[in-house]
Structure 1
Amino acid sequence: MEKKEIKILSRKSDLAQIQAQLVGLEINRKFPDIKISYSTKTTEGDIDKFSPLSEMKTTGVFTDDLRQNLIEGKCDAIVHSWKDMPIDIGEETIISGSLRRADERDILLVDKNKVNQIKKLKKISILSSSPRRVYNLKNFIKDYFPYNCNEIVFNNIRGNIPTRIKKLLNGDGDALVVAKAAIDRLINNPFKDFSELSKEIKHYINQCLWMVIPLSVNPSAPGQGALAIETKSNDKITKKIIKDISDPLSITCVKKEREILKKYGGGCHQKIGVTFFPTFFGLVKSEKGESENGKTFSDWSVLKFNENSNLSAKKDEIFPENNSDYKFFKRITIQDSINKINSLNNHCIWISRKSALPEGALLSLTNIVWASGLKTWKSLSKRGIWVNGCSDSMGED
């Protein structure tokens, strides 16, 4: 039996509707004869715009109200942000699939108009409702922010992404941390109905300095960046369609993350981040946080190497064989090179190691600066250089 129409439900926010339409787009690419219709519904989490999510009494405040429509047959599928899903959703429905995962990382936005104030007061106020982000960012700001901050204050914020950025730019705080996937989807969405929104978000971002926070120091909320496509458990046809558009590796990674979250009790009140993500050499796990009993943990490891990744080398294949023989060049300062670097504007600059950028070189804030790893980033930040992100040492050594 063929499916003639799939009714997709989502929350009412622009981001939720974009995510639903991205799923519909993938269905039509594979099944062009299927009609896609969309509907929206307000959830408990949307109605309560003030309570911190970590203090709400129940899990599933953004998902449970939608699920009831699915159970009652008012829709065929729901598109959720997977990080919003409770660990247990019952037996009547199932997560049937997910598109390829977007960027798992968080992004820190800093109002450009607040930079001088931050430098002068040596204090920064960051808008965030997430215990995980608060826990991780306190140390991150101390080590990787180019401006000395003796005091780091976190203030609660609620609302959709455009609302949060407006609150930042209207003076509610100096900085804001959000999921990068949300920003990416709002800006890069291909839909005419949301083209003006894309321009609006770009305009807001241009008023900010930004940093993409590395997963090694700030693993994401389990499922962050991934979409959960929920169907009825007994709807074999829709389940098969969703499976055919899904990315198995993304699903595997999220399931592993949620297994770990379940071990700690689940819920967005936890100071726990865990991310599994694929690389060219294998699956990497980043896990960090503090359990409810006060136990801290941190793990950054390669879970499984790809069969074709050969990371070993014989001693006679290494040059130089001993580190003591490594320094066979003498570094001297070339002023013309420094002048050239200082003149760069609106460039993307990759810095492979801390010694690659000569002393005296200054980088304009109009540039995007990417470091190879955390050691390089930390060294650059001590020199007052704004670094936008790094490759988490996958290439630094």
Structure 2
Amino acid sequence: MKQKIRLGSRDSRLAVIQTQLVMDQLHQLYPEMELKLVTMKTTGDLILDRTLDKIGGKGLFVRELDAALLDGRVDLTVHSFKDLPMELPEELPIVAITCRDDPRDALVLPQGQQSLDLTRPIGCASKRRALQLKELFPGCRVEPVRGNVQTRLKKLDDGQYGSLVLAAAGLRRLGLEERIHRLFEPEELLPAACQGVLAVQARRDFDVSFLRPLHDPQAELLTRAERSFVRTLDGGCSAPVAAHGRLNGETLTLTGFYAGPEDERGIKQTLSGPALEGEELGRRLAELIRKEAEACV
């Protein structure tokens, strides 16, 4: 009998494209498999007049998808891994992690503009980016911007902002690579933990053996370390925390960024260790930065 798999996704254009990327891989692997896309709006998609730290954090983007998994309306859900909360329900594990796309942040200018205009604010959705941008561009104004990528770009082109900072991977997946004015290297602007990686969730009792070819072991090593760093600092959407790992053979080098709730500057440090001990490396780096932050108080 032909296997039928229902994949749940937020109904934003980017989320649908990302879910379709997973579906395309499954189609290539299993031509006879019947795949169905199930989209839904989440609470985070509906509340656009406040920043996420004011309304409950990243969990608002997965609540409805988790419920659909638990009650059997869908079999898998696909997420930007950076948007998943640090603590996940035990009954809904991550069952596949895709190969990492470009993890960098990108600077986007209004249509037709060739240089950054700092007389108008830079629009970005996180304090993580805001603090680092103020270090890169002293004296700049950074203001929050919500909505999907297309909504943000319209606000930019309408003159509400002088520029935007968005994830390069999302722009490329949307076919908007031409909007990228420049890319920020991680040394300049440390990206969110797990940026550029897609994660697939399922019920614990669901047979996911067919997903093994989609899973990328290197991405798993990196994301385990990055999420461990953020989790140790109790970081999420409300905390300015960032982490980015690189692999060199069996060595993982992890850079972390953290700022306290009232801090106007963050602390950045780097630590290396065995790649297979990435979670411990993330915890150690987080504790080093926490101690430095406490010493500065």
TM range (shorter): 0.7 to 0.9
Residue type at the aligned position of 2:254:
K
**Secondary structure of 1:171's aligned partner:** coil
Residue type at the aligned position of 1:298:
K
Between the two proteins, the alignment pairs up a number of residues equal to 275
Matched with 2:78 is: 79
Does 1:140 find its partner at 2:136? yes
**Secondary structure of 1:218's aligned partner:** coil
**Secondary structure of 1:26's aligned partner:** helix
TM-score of the pair, normalised by structure 2: 0.85
Residue type at the aligned position of 1:300:
T
Partner Cα distance (2:7, 2:220) in 1: 20
- Please say if residues 54 and 129 of structure 1, whose CA atoms lie closer than 8 Å, have aligned partners that are also in contact: no
Pairs within 5 Å for 1:353-364: none
Matched with 2:279 is: none
Does 1:101 find its partner at 2:97? no
Partner Cα distance (1:296, 1:181) in 2: 25
Residue type at the aligned position of 1:135:
L
Residue type at the aligned position of 2:260:
S
RMSD over aligned Cα atoms = 2.4
Residue type at the aligned position of 1:269:
S
Does 1:154 find its partner at 2:123? no
Structure 2 gaps, min length 5: 276-297
- Please say if residues 218 and 288 of structure 1, whose CA atoms lie closer than 8 Å, have aligned partners that are also in contact: no
Partner Cα distance (1:58, 1:140) in 2: 26
Matched with 1:297 is: 267
- Please say if residues 194 and 223 of structure 2, whose CA atoms lie closer than 8 Å, have aligned partners that are also in contact: yes
**Secondary structure of 2:255's aligned partner:** strand
- Please say if residues 108 and 177 of structure 1, whose CA atoms lie closer than 8 Å, have aligned partners that are also in contact: yes
Matched with 1:54 is: 53
Counterpart of 1:229 (choices 189, 200, 207) is 200
Flag the structure with larger Rg. Answer: 1
Deviation at 1:82, TM superposition (A): 0.9
Residue type at the aligned position of 1:94:
P
Partner Cα distance (1:6, 1:113) in 2: 44
Matched with 1:21 is: 20
**Secondary structure of 1:166's aligned partner:** helix
Residue type at the aligned position of 2:163:
A
Deviations 1:126-174 (A, max 9, x none): 01120000011111124xxxxxxxx311112111111111110110110
Matched with 1:131 is: 127
- Please say if residues 2 and 33 of structure 2, whose CA atoms lie closer than 8 Å, have aligned partners that are also in contact: yes
Does 1:70 find its partner at 2:69? yes
Structure 1 gaps, min length 5: 143-150, 188-200, 306-397
Deviation at 1:183, TM superposition (A): 0.6
Deviation at 1:303, TM superposition (A): 3.8
Matched with 2:157 is: 169
TM-score of the pair, normalised by structure 1: 0.64
- Please say if residues 116 and 163 of structure 2, whose CA atoms lie closer than 8 Å, have aligned partners that are also in contact: no
- Please say if residues 105 and 214 of structure 1, whose CA atoms lie closer than 8 Å, have aligned partners that are also in contact: yes
User: How high is the sequence identity, in percent, across the aligned residues?
Assistant: 26
Deviations 1:64-101 (A, max 9, x none): 11110110011110001111111122122111011111
When residues 285 and 71 of structure 1 are mapped into structure 2, their CA distance, relative to the original with a 3 A threshold, is: same
Residue type at the aligned position of 1:249:
Q
When residues 24 and 115 of structure 1 are mapped into structure 2, their CA distance, relative to the original with a 3 A threshold, is: closer
When residues 62 and 162 of structure 1 are mapped into structure 2, their CA distance, relative to the original with a 3 A threshold, is: same
